[in-house]
Amino acid sequence: MASYNLNINSKSYTVETTEGTSLLWILREHLGLTGTKYGCGIAQCGTCTIHIDGKPSKACMIEIDSLQDTQKITTIEGLSKDGDHPLQQAWVAAQAPQCGYCQSGQIMQAAALLESNPNPDEAEIKEYMNGNLCRCGTYLRIVKAIQLASQNNLAGR
């Protein structure tokens, strides 16, 4: 067992765990930040997508030992203050989710996309989102929601 300090959603946390434990289990089982989901454990499905210093990352592949307490971790719970990120609004407008399990990861991946490319075309969206699986088949509405958020964002600038 060892003790680790983490900065998550602008809050400091200390956790006790064994070396090599994945950040995903820390977020979900230790800290109760369960919006980040477990889907495969091998970075194939994207349900555990979070941001580390603004970059999209798969929490399941990050061992806790590899993190510095200066690194800023953002999960779906910290993406916006009141769940009103332009993507979250667009997700509602497009009525995108079905079962909803993959959607936190989808939104976090899409948020990173719009940060780096505020006006992606359809092919860019699909390429960037290709690592995020949705078994319910909501992909068409996810694309629509990202386009909507992109337009709203640009219009608001």
The binding site for another protein (CB under 8 A) comprises 1, 17-18, 21-22, 25, 28-29, 32-42, 44-45, 47, 75-77, 79-80, 83, 88, 91-92, 95-104, 107, 125-127, 129-143
Question: Closest separation between CB of residue 66 and another protein, Å?
Answer: 15
**Nearest one of 28, 24, 30 to 2, comparing CA atoms:** 30
Matching residue, tokens 């993507």: 87
State which residue, 70 or 82, has the beta carbon closest to another protein.
82
State which residue, 16 or 155, has the beta carbon closest to another protein.
16
Question: Closest separation between CB of residue 63 and another protein, Å?
Answer: 11
In single-letter form, the type of residue at position 121 comes to D
**Under 8 Å between Cβ of 5 and 14:** yes
Q: Render the burial of 49-63: b for 16+ CB within 10 Å, e for the rest.
A: bbbbeeebbbbbebe
Question: Closest separation between CB of residue 107 and another protein, Å?
Answer: 6
Question: Closest separation between CB of residue 41 and another protein, Å?
Answer: 6
Rounded CA-CA distance 11/75 in Å is: 12
